[in-house]
Amino acid sequence: MARPVTLFTGQFADIPLEELCSKAVGWGYDGLELACWGDHVDVDRAARDKKYAKSRKEILADHRLELFSISHHLAGQLVCDPNNDNRSDGFAPPDCKGDPEKKRRWAVKTMKNSARAAKNIGVKVVNGFTGSSIWHLLYSFPPVSEKQLDDGYKYFAKMWNPILDVFDQCGVRFGLEVHPTEIAYDIVTTRKALAAVKNRKAFGFNFDPSHLHWQMVDPVKFLTEFKDRIYHVHMKDAALTLDGESGILSSHLNFGTPGRGWDFRSLGRGGVDFEEIIRTLNYIGYNGPLSVEWEDAAMDREQGAAEAAQYVKDIDFDRSDRVFDEAFGN
């Protein structure tokens, strides 16, 4: 096994951290990627309370688990989203409910605190989302002007550069999970997002092939294009299930519903080519954790988590230090 295999706790945030650690050991994981909700990490507390911050690693260490990153996806979404309906009310404290700008102000503050928390905890990467003020303009009718789109990237830079300044101060990097509804959701928009923040090093990516696969974007091409910005890796699978009736816009069908045009799958049960991803990670020199983000609406999550850990260990391998035929001349 070339790299540590970790579990993102976002889909298990209802399980208390101590209990989840015990389960993760039994499932075969080497570490966890802690979600900043549930009782796993309170970043605002960890930003000011070093004893609490250190306790996150200590709890994992007591179970012989490692910690490489934390993830604050829900708060990050609110930074650039319009926040103009109740879908995201649960992402912020109750006193922000129904107030788009109050949700945004809270999100900016807590994302800055996520960098401070990461420093106090002793990790170098915070993963998450950015939100997008222009995602709802995806289909250009009524017509969308180039200026509207350009303004969206300028707004992203305006909102995120002050957050990234704190990341720089703390020696921590932010890994955007490139994903529909974010400012970057494929290779073209990722280039635009990088250009908007002038390619600053604090801004990179939590590579997750599942979101690219169902859009029919090549995950391997993403890795080679942004090889110096891969700060963390999610292992997650997806399957295109197009049947001639629904498309990749999913027809308002929920995950796990028969007839939906695509869906997430437990690792190895979808269409992502993880063999080529591992080979490409070796090529670009990524040696960080492979973090399972388990999502499969049709499968028991504990069975899936255990199966996924073993799948990653089986498919991962070290890069060779030679070409195989070099031995022929000896």
Residue with tokens 């969206």: 152
Mean pLDDT computed over 303-326 = 91
Q: How far apart are CA 18 and CA 104, in angstroms?
A: 32
Q: Residue 121 corresponds to which tokens in the numbers above?
A: 């905890």
Mean pLDDT computed over 252-275 = 97
What pLDDT was estimated at residue 326? 74
The pLDDT-based confidence of 330 (bands split at 50, 70, 90) is: low
What pLDDT was estimated at residue 276? 98
Q: How far apart are CA 288 and CA 3, in angstroms?
A: 6
State the average pLDDT for the chain: 96
Helix (H) or strand (E) holding 292: strand 290-292
What pLDDT was estimated at residue 69? 98
Mean pLDDT computed over 87-93 = 95
Helix (H) or strand (E) holding 44: helix 43-48
Report the interhelical angle of 50-62 vs 17-27 (nearest 10°): 30
Mean pLDDT computed over 268-296 = 97
Mean pLDDT computed over 195-213 = 98
The pLDDT-based confidence of 253 (bands split at 50, 70, 90) is: very high
Mean pLDDT computed over 172-201 = 98
What does residue 182 show for φ and ψ, rounded to 5 degrees?
-100, 170
What is the pTM for the complete model shown? Answer: 0.96
Given a cut of 60, whether residue 1 has pLDDT beyond it is: no
What pLDDT was estimated at residue 323? 77
Q: Residue 295 corresponds to which tokens in the numbers above?
A: 């999502």
Given a cut of 80, whether residue 237 has pLDDT beyond it is: yes
Out of 21-25, 36-40, 111-115, 129-133, pick the least confident.
36-40
What pLDDT was estimated at residue 192? 98
What pLDDT was estimated at residue 209? 98
Task: Give the pLDDT confidence of 20-30 residue by residue, as tens digits.
Answer: 999 999 999 99
The pLDDT-based confidence of 321 (bands split at 50, 70, 90) is: confident
pLDDT > 90: percent of the chain? 95
Residue with tokens 């499969």: 296
CATH class of 5-329: alpha beta
Query: Buried b / exposed e across 138-148, counting CB within 10 Å, b at 16+?
Result: eeeeeeeeeee
What does residue 263 show for φ and ψ, rounded to 5 degrees?
-160, 155
